[in-house]
């Protein structure tokens, strides 16, 4: 076969704990040295990819293909993910006397959330590696996205989801032809179920950060934020944090853009804020020193399904991002989240997921605390559309006003 090679600058993978370099070929899971996430490392120099090269590229996350791990273009399994708009929230800004508040609307991705970016990349690499079947533990959106991209790639899909997840998530997985397995509990219980089903490694397990490529898909949000804002970065990025993959990924993208010369070496990077639900706030507890780490943390369900991740494997990388960026971690109540959804709907016409409501609620809280200033450029990263969450919010969100 005559294969075309993309211009991917992927060099190798390295262990996020000890830095040892690993070969990027074949099926990859946690690092064999430390059982920690593996990170993709590219061979980047000022000028390796010129900004002028981007101009003619498709308006999807694949416009950054040199900085992505897929080697052969025919393995790019695409549904048009990425390049979502950044909206200026003028009406909320004037209601709250803010100078500059924007929202990147990831709800417009295929399958209605930013999980499309990560799963698009993971399934593209699964295809490239000759995998036939994939399995995922999920709080909802990741399972839907994996099922869609597996359908598009012709791979078998098994999705393991908490039983309390709204029906819309389950039905959509079934619609894409995935096998759906429901589990009593949260995503950590789904992880245990996946390990039981997959003890002989028949399936490729695409749990977040247990393979290196979902992170690479999600990091494209960082490239887009810079490019779409004409290389003027926001002061603060509000990010609803579950597994933290997007937060870590955006931060990785900023560093890659510095290495490429897309951003000046001395540019001030945004402060990164991890927003969680009070019902399940392991990162907030660790950040505030209430626990050494989340290994024993017990979480409860929240209307923001994507935030119900009690023991995120990427915790050290999340905390490191908060520290390096002078950011913080904060949690909000269920009522505040739903009020946040209502306000973004009513005043800006954006039907955000409860995770998106959470970041607006957290913004107001940090403004009251003085941590955010009214003249900061605050970017809300709305991770999903509210449409699949109707079971969770029905009858509650109007009362929240």
Our finding on whether 241 is near ligand PLP (CB under 6 A) is yes
141 binds ligand PLP (CB under 6 A): yes
| Residue linked to tokens 């749990």 | 207
Q: Which is nearer to ligand PLP, 6 or 207 (CB)?
A: 207
Residues 6+ apart with CB under 8 A from 321: 244, 247, 248, 251, 272, 327
The interaxial angle of helices 167-175 and 141-153, nearest 10 deg, is 10
- Of 68, 135, 253, 353, the residue at the interface with ligand PLP (CB under 6 A) is 353
Q: Which is nearer to ligand PLP, 162 or 246 (CB)?
A: 246
Question: Quick one: tokens of 23?
Answer: 């070969």
Write out the two tokens for 121: 């990349």
- The answer to whether residue 170 forms part of the interface with ligand PLP (CB under 6 A) is no
Sole binder of ligand PLP in the list 31, 60, 109, 113 (CB under 6 A): 113
Among 16, 208, 325, 331, binds ligand PLP (CB under 6 A): 208
Is residue 191 within a helix (H) or strand (E), and if so which, with residue range? helix 187-197
Q: Does 112 bind ligand PLP (CB under 6 A)?
A: no
Can you tell me which of 119, 383, 388, 397 binds ligand PLP, judged by CB under 6 A? 383
Q: With respect to ligand PLP, which residue has the nearer C-beta, 157 or 275?
A: 275
HSE-CB at 161 with a 13 A cutoff on CA atoms is 29
Dihedral angle of Cα 300, 164, 353, 328, to the nearest 10 degrees:
20
Q: What is the 3-state secondary structure (H, E, C) of 232-255?
A: CCCCEEEEECCCCHHHHHHHHHHH
Residue 369, Cβ density class (10 Å: 0-12 exposed, 13-18 middle, ≥19 buried): exposed
Size of the site for ligand PLP (CB under 6 A): 17
Question: Is 294 one of the binding residues for ligand PLP (CB under 6 A)?
Answer: no
Tell me: does residue 392 bind ligand PLP (CB under 6 A).
Answer: no
Single residue of 306, 327, 340, 386 touching ligand PLP by CB under 6 A:
306
Residue 355 binds ligand PLP (CB under 6 A) = yes
**What is the three-class DSSP state of 360?**
helix
Give me the count of residues in the chain.
Answer: 401
Of positions 243, 282, 299, 386, contacts ligand PLP by CB under 6 A: 243
Cα 37 to Cα 256: distance, rounded to the nearest angstrom: 18
**Which residue do the tokens 């709250």 mark?**
96
Q: 16: closest CA among 35, 44, 43?
A: 35
The reply on whether position 240 binds ligand PLP by CB under 6 A is yes
Among 137, 244, 282, 340, binds ligand PLP (CB under 6 A): 244
Contact with ligand PLP (CB under 6 A): which of 115, 170, 252, 364?
Answer: 115
The yes or no reply on residue 84 touching ligand PLP (CB under 6 A) is: no
Nearer to ligand PLP among residue 6 and residue 294 (C-beta): 294
Which regions of 89-222 does DSSP assign to beta strands (E)?
100-105, 133-137, 156-162, 179-183, 204-205
CB 248 within 8 A of CB 321: yes
Task: State the minimum distance, in angstroms, from the CB of residue 221 to ligand PLP.
Answer: 10
Determine the residue with CB nearest ligand PLP. 306
Nearest distance, CB of residue 116 and ligand PLP, angstroms? 10
Strands (E), 44-90: 86-88
Which stretch in 162-170, 242-250, 264-272, 283-291 sits in contact with ligand PLP by CB under 6 A? 242-250
Q: Is 111 in the site for ligand PLP (CB under 6 A)?
A: no
Structure tokens at 295: 């290994």
Q: Does 245 bind ligand PLP (CB under 6 A)?
A: yes
Residues in touch with ligand PLP (CB under 6 A): 113, 115, 141-142, 208, 240-246, 306, 353, 355, 383-384
């Amino acid at each position: 076969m005559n294969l075309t090679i993309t211009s991917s600058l992927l060099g190798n993978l390295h262990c996020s704990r000890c830095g040892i370099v690993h070969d990027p070929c074949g099926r990859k899971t946690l690092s064999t040295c430390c059982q920690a996430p593996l990170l993709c490392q590219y061979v980047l120099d000022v000028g390796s990819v010129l900004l002028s090269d981007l101009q003619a590229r498709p308006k999807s996350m694949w416009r950054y293909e040199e900085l992505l791990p897929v080697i052969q273009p025919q393995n790019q399994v695409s549904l048009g993910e990425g390049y979502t708009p950044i909206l200026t929230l003028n009406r909320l800004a004037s209601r709250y006397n803010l100078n500059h508040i924007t929202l990147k609307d990831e709800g417009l991705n295929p399958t209605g959330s930013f999980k499309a970016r990560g799963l698009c990349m993971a399934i593209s690499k699964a295809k490239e590696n000759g995998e036939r079947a994939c399995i995922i533990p999920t709080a909802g959106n990741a399972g839907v996205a994996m099922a869609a991209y597996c359908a598009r790639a012709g791979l078998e899909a098994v999705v393991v989801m908490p039983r309390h997840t709204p029906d819309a998530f389950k039905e959509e997985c079934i619609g894409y032809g995935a096998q759906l397995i429901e589990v009593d509990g949260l995503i950590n219980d789904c992880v245990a179920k996946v390990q039981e089903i997959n003890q002989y490694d028949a399936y490729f397990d695409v749990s977040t950060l247990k393979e290196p490529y979902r992170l690479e898909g999600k990091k494209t949000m960082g490239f887009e934020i810079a490019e779409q804002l004409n290389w003027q970065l926001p002061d603060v990025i509000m990010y609803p944090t579950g597994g933290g993959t997007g937060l870590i990924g955006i931060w990785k993208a900023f560093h890659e853009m510095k290495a490429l010369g897309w951003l000046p070496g001395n540019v001030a990077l945004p402060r990164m804020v991890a927003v969680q639900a009070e019902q399940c706030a392991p990162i907030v507890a660790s950040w505030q020193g209430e626990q050494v780490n989340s290994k024993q943390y017990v979480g409860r369900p929240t209307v923001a399904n994507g935030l119900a991740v009690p023991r995120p494997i990427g915790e050290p990388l999340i905390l490191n991002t908060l520290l390096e960026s002078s950011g913080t971690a904060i949690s909000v109540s269920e009522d505040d989240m739903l009020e946040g959804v209502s306000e973004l709907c009513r005043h800006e016409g954006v039907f955000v997921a409860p995770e998106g409501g959470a970041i607006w609620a957290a913004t107001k809280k940090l403004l009251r605390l003085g941590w955010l200033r009214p003249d900061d450029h605050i970017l809300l990263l709305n991770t999903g559309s509210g449409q699949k969450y109707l079971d969770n919010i029905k009858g509650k969100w109007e009362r929240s006003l």
